[in-house]
Structure 1
Amino acid sequence: MIEHRPWLVWLSHGVLLLGVLIVAFPIWIAFVASTHAASDLASGVTPLLPGGYLFENYARALGSGHEASGAVPVSLMMWNSLVMALAIAIGKIAISLLSAYAIVYFRFPFRMLCFWTIFVTLMLPVEVRILPTFEVVADLGLLNSYAGLSVPLIASATATFLFRQFFLTVPDELVEAARIDGAGPLRFFKDVLLPLSRTNIAALFVILFIYGWNQYLWPLLITTDESFYTIVMGIQRMVTVADAEPQWPLIMATTMLAMIPPVFVVVAMQRLFVKGLVETEK
């Protein structure tokens, strides 16, 4: 039995509060910088209190972008990132579910060889296979397209492995009961396995959405049309402007806006996300 002591409660809360402050302080600085004029930050010292340019800076970032860097409006870049992140997350989950289902419940030649071949691809990150992948995408005419941004990244050995491990824990009695009731393979998958996999799907969706949202190298390689720039690319272009000073208020406003979709996904799916990570019995 754990003994409750008041000083331990205060100490634990103090440590948690300190951790929150350390994590949140850079975000607060970015927000404060996004509310000031560029001249207020020219000295290199960032104020600690918000300024009076909040609506002006955010409206400019969303509406016209940063002309000096050639960046398109943040709203368009956020839309591109949203389409890419959703396509990657949904595509990875759909393909991984079907792959794991086939490996666990179907008996075909070289079944385990197929699984281990998929699993071995974990040792081949995007950076290793990026040149042949780029050549294939270019030959298919998918440069500067949403398909080119998302399709090469939707295969996931990790998600396939996790779903396979979960499917192996499903009791054989469920399979037999479904077969007795006349349920075919697709019916069993849709009515039994998908509802049981709900928390796993939610946890993977959060992780994969953030993975897709934060992609930088692949969009940088295959997009030359600014109308397909993602938000991460836009921030980098704003920082590395030529023959001009970076407009830090607009950069920080763009950074704060770029945080909204991932934070919203995490908050909205927090309960399912935690259950999907820690739940051991279904």
Structure 2
Amino acid sequence: MVERRPFLTFIQHAVLILGAAMFVFPIYLAFVASTHTAAEVSGGVPLLPGAEMIRNYSLVLGEGISAAGAPPLWIMLMNSTIMALSITIGKIVISLLSAFAVVYFKFPFRMLAFWTIFVTLMLPVEVRILPTFEVVAQLGMLNSYAGLSIPLIASATATFLFRQFFMTVPDQLTEAARIDGAGPMKFFRDILLPLSRTNLAALFVILFIYGWNQYLWPLLVTTDESYYTIVMGIQRMANAGEETPQWHLIMATAILALLPPVVVILAMQRLFVRGLVEVEK
């Protein structure tokens, strides 16, 4: 029998509402600031939306902020989307295949290959950024989508997670597939991939946000404004040099930059949560 305690329930809900408000309130202030003029937000952000929303959002989407050296927002959103999707899909495909090979194929130095991949966790992009930049420059991939995404595609974390999941798949499934005449790739396509869908969704969300939030690497490999990402654009708008930052336009850009990751999370919310809390067999 579950004992009902109204006061305890009230406290729990109050704590949850307070916690949610602490996360939502800065986003609300950013949205409110994006609906006012520069003069109205210079002395402090009002608490109620203003009348300049359409003008501000049209300005950043269509013209950008020339004083900050930022191109129109739709270009930066497109670049960030291409970069994030390339990194996400590339990481997942390479990690799936490498984990599949390590678990289901017996070849010399198999575990050495896996642990070599795993050790690269200690060498993030920031540590190997100079030699990586040199290789990208020598290959002529500066100011290109390939230069933005390919150096960030390899993922030891995703390989490790898929390996651990594949090791939980019952051996009976492998034997049944072999008896039915299924080859390795058919087993991979028809059995392992459907079983991995929740893991794929969880990793897709995490890796998409990882690619979307990249700043240091795009800053190094792009000098052409047509390849700027949204994070770079916001930084250049905020650091306008001798010009006064136009915070109402910066906040409009930040709000629009939130939309693609939010759409991805909402679209995969159910599978994302299941992929974090359970294992399907």
* TM beyond 0.5: yes
**Contact 2:198-2:274 within 8 A present in 1 as well:** yes
* Aligned pairs (5 A) from 1:60-139: 60-139=59-138
Structure 2 match to 1:34: 34
Q: Deviations over 1:82-120 (max 9, x none)?
A: 000000000000000000000000000000000000001
Deviation of 1:42 after TM superposition, in Å, equals 2.1
Pair 1:49 & 2:48 matched:
yes
Confirm or deny that 1:19 pairs with 2:19: yes
* Structure 1 unmatched runs, 5+: none
> SS where residue 176 of structure 1 aligns?
helix
Question: What's the TM-score, normalizing by structure 2?
Answer: 0.99
Match of 1:9 in 2: 9
The answer (yes or no) to whether the contact 2:65–2:72 under 8 Å persists in 1 is yes
Residues of 2 paired with 1:81 and 1:228: CA distance? 9
Could you give the per-residue CA deviations for residues 27-47 of structure 1, whole angstroms, max 9, x where no partner exists?
A: 01000000000111222x110
Q: Is the 8 A contact 2:195 2:280 kept in 1?
A: no
For residues 34 and 99 of structure 2, the distance between their equivalents in structure 1, rounded to whole angstroms, comes to 46
Quote the Cα distance in structure 1 between the aligned partners of 2:270 and 2:31: 28
Give the CA RMSD over aligned residues. 0.8
Any gaps of 5 or more consecutive residues in structure 2? none
Distance 1:4 1:218 in 2: 54
User: Match of 2:264?
Assistant: 265
The question of whether the paired residues in 1 share the 8 Å contact of 2:90 and 2:154 is answered with: yes
Report the Cα offset of residue 212 of structure 1: 0.1
Secondary structure of the structure 2 residue equivalent to 1:135:
helix
Q: Runs ≥4 in structure 1, deviation > 4 angstroms? A: none
Larger displacement relative to structure 2 (238-247 or 225-234): 238-247
Matched, 1:170 2:188: no
- CA–CA distance in 2 between the matches of 1:252 and 1:148? 29
Contact kept? 2:99, 2:162, Cα under 8 Å? yes
Counting matched residue pairs gives 281
In 2, the alpha carbon distance for the partners of 1:204 and 1:220 equals 25
Residues of 2 paired with 1:225 and 1:54: CA distance?
Answer: 29
Give 1:2 deviation, angstroms.
Answer: 4.8
Relative to structure 1, the CA distance from residue 2 to residue 281 in structure 2 (aligned partners, 3 Å threshold; closer, same or farther) is farther
Task: Describe the SS at the equivalent of 1:17.
Answer: helix
- Answer yes or no: is 1:151 the counterpart of 2:150: yes
